[in-house]
Amino acid sequence: MKGLKKILGLTLAAMMTMSLVGCSSGGDKGDKTEVADKLQQIKDAGVLVVGTSADYAPYEFHKKVDGEDKIVGFDITMAEEIAKDLDVKVEYKDMDFDGLLGALDAGKVDIVLSGMTPNEERKKSVDFSELFYEDSNVCIVKKGKEDMVKSADDLKNLKVGVQSGTTQADYVTNTLGMTSAKQLKRIPDLMMDLKNGNIDVIVTGKNVANINIGQYDGLSIGKTTVGQEVAESTAAAIKKSTDDFDNTSLVKSINKTIKRLKDEKKMDGYMQDALKLAEK
Ligand code: ARG
């Protein structure tokens, strides 16, 4: 009997210590900063806020649908699919391309979908989803001047236009070391400049070039491989995790949607639809 009491007493003491330990570790937890799960925040808000520069048909562009101005395109279909899998609505914030990553960092948008190509420089400040589309770069010139650019060196002697903040701008300024390249905020302004003879050539994505030469008379795609050494692929950009911010589950969910669409072989069809929509 005495022995049993002793055992009971010891067990009780052990249990109390354990609960005390439990208590103190609970207290520690309370002191830590709350980690905001981005995915949960989006679900709680019921809306995915997408940052985009809607001047890049067929990826993202404005179009009148039933008399109403809408942002449509390949990335917009991607945004809808990502939001569908998250069971939330989508909202777009249209801004200059060179302001997108700042908006992402400031938390003004949840993700960026804007024909954005992952590169090492950008990866220092943001995370990217898996790639979901791969295109290439071309040179747009005036009709009849298709042979104007034969080598990257030729570009250095021409008036080149690029969109500011893009990988094409990085190519001409950093890779080719050009200081004279004209950097404009929006693609249509570059097309007008080329049309008016203020610049000789625009370096941009092939799909984008094809749409624009159909919309601006007198422009054509140069017969050159210049620009092709730069990637023109697309992924979603997401703000990096910090001590109090966790993007892990959001990135996972976006990648799951991308995988689903790739498995279903949807990407090419989405691009074809976007090209048709942009041509009309
Ligand atoms: N792919 C290029 C980049 O990542 C150009 C993207 C331009 N996108 C746009 N919506 N204007 O820099």
The pLDDT score that the predictor gives to residue 34 is 85
Rounded average pLDDT over 129-144: 98
Residue 13 binned pLDDT confidence (cut-offs 50, 70, 90): low
* pLDDT tens per residue across span 90-133: 999 999 999 999 999 999 999 999 999 999 999 999 999 999 99
* pLDDT tens per residue across span 23-38: 444 444 455 678 999 9
The pLDDT score that the predictor gives to residue 15 is 54
**Token pair belonging to 210:** 């094809």
Let me know how long the chain is.
Answer: 280
**Token pair belonging to 268:** 């090419």
Mutate to test the pocket of ligand 1, among 163, 208, 229 (most ligand atoms within 8 A of CB): 163
Distance (Å) from CA 17 to ligand 1 centroid: 60
* pLDDT tens per residue across span 18-74: 544 444 444 444 556 789 999 999 999 999 999 999 999 999 999 999 999 999 999
Sheet holding 55-56, edge to edge: 55-56, 60-65, 68-72
Mean pLDDT of the chain: 92
The pLDDT score that the predictor gives to residue 99 is 98
3-class SS letters over 210-245: HHHHHHCCCEEECCCCCCCCCCEEECCEEECCECCE
Q: Which residues of 231-264 are buried (b: 16+ CB within 10 A; e: fewer)?
A: bbbbbbbbbebeeebbbeebbebbbebbeebeee
pLDDT over 90 (residue 201): yes
Strands 126-128, 237-239: pairing kind: antiparallel
> Which residues have CB under 6 Å of ligand 1?
53, 55-56, 59-60, 97, 114-117, 163, 166-167, 187, 232
Q: How far is CA 142 from CA 137, 157, 204, in A?
A: 17, 16, 14
The pLDDT score that the predictor gives to residue 33 is 72
Percent of the chain whose predicted confidence (pLDDT) is above 90: 87
* pTM, two decimal places: 0.88
